[in-house]
Amino acid sequence: MSIANGFLHTDGNQIVDSSGQNVKLTGVNWFGAEGYAFNPNGMDTKGYWHMMDQMKTLGFNAIRLPWSDAMLDGDRKPTGIDYSKNPDLEGKTTLEVFDHIVEYAGRIGLKIILDHHRSDDGASANENGLWYTDKYPESKMIENWKMLAERYAGNDTVVAADLHNEPHGQATWGDGNAATDWAAAAERIGNAIQSVNKDWLLMVEGVEIQNDTWEWWGGNLRGAKEHGIEFDTPDKLVYSVHSYGPSIHQMSWFNDENFPNNLPEVYDENWGWMLKQDKHPVLVGEFGGKLDTAQDQQYMAKLVQYMNGDFDGNGTNDLGAGKQGASWTYWSWNPNSGDTGGILKDDWSSVDWTKMNAVKPGLFAGGGSAAKAKAAFLDGSGETDVWAHNAVQAKAADAAAASVAADAHTASATDLGGYVDPSLLHPVHHDGDLLAA
């Protein structure tokens, strides 16, 4: 059964739709708007709606859409768009491009998670590890979140806010230090959003270090056992972690002699306890890797199994009948993520089936919401006129062909319209202090 129209709320470890059905969000990260290009990448190769049709065809039901405070400065204009393929975006600001993405997502039944990815123009998480910078203090971040919450209020396509991406380094949890306590800041930010919009799920990532225990950036939720988040509207809290594979960094657990069977215990201690104890839902907001080694593939298979609620690996859902496991958004849809690659290959059309087949067992069986309009292709001619999308796109003959996408453009990962070196868009996430740990 598809996700019902309307907003989502939480009940114990479950995300619940407006009909009372337990659901999970299983989607992709589509980055680029948070910095450099100020636009979700790939629109130089095809129409944004064609990109989203492909996501839907592959079975995803959500997009985690990164943004930054810098993106909202003035009337920031996007770059890297071929307007012959995206004619309705010409002259639009980046925020107006978001409006079009949200509108089309609603038409085809995809949900949107807005992700405050960073403060300044740039890539990956804030360099200082915090949720603010000198140029963009917490007050500016809250101002921007409230603006977005009001802008999309009442639109049940936008269902969640990931309050901030990958707190790490000096970020703390529950220690009362106003400058570094991410848990306290998350409550302030979330309650500010709820002052203008009480409908969204509010997703709170962890930190990197808690009680001398190191995790991925944003991936340490051990502190929530003693210092849980409390929002004014309580049934909207979803915790979030990031959990990458060994090709990103050889964390100690990847070198355990019992790998990969040791991974459930690692997850139990960090975030799985929330699911097992029926406390809160969890979104694994970023995970992945190149998946070109046996070790990477073993990590992925065990993580997907665990996210499905099969904690002991015996093929059954240990949460019980009718219960959903963790929600997730794979990093990334884009092929131009330097450390992971993407679901799409470098031509922005072909699917990396090693990755797709790895995450496919974790997709929500009910798919997305019911589409609010007809499918994009209205006839078999290849000509389409979809709500002002007057562009020529090759028509996929069937669902399998759609997943390979029939756009004639064959851009490589280093050919993104000449506006930026793709390797800068998402460098290796977890270096510096983590490597020293």
Active site residues: 166, 286
Q: Enumerate helices (H) and strands (E) in the chain, giving the number of each.
A: 10, 15
Residues in the chain: 437
Dist CA 163 CA 186 (whole Å): 7
Dist CA 397 CA 233 (whole Å): 47
**Which of 339, 320, 330 has the alpha carbon at shortest distance from 357?**
330
Q: Strand pairing of 209-210 and 201-205?
A: unpaired
SS3 285: strand
Q: How far is CA 415 from CA 31, 50, 84, in A?
A: 16, 19, 17
Q: Are 338 and 37 in contact (CB under 8 A)?
A: no
- Please name the residue that has the structure tokens 């087949």: 357
Beta-bridge mates of residue 203: 162, 238
- CB neighbours of 158 closer than 8 A, spacing ≥ 6? 102, 111, 112, 114, 152, 200
Dist CA 169 CA 186 (whole Å): 17
CA end-to-end span of the chain, whole Å?
45
Q: Are 333 and 405 in contact (CB under 8 A)?
A: no
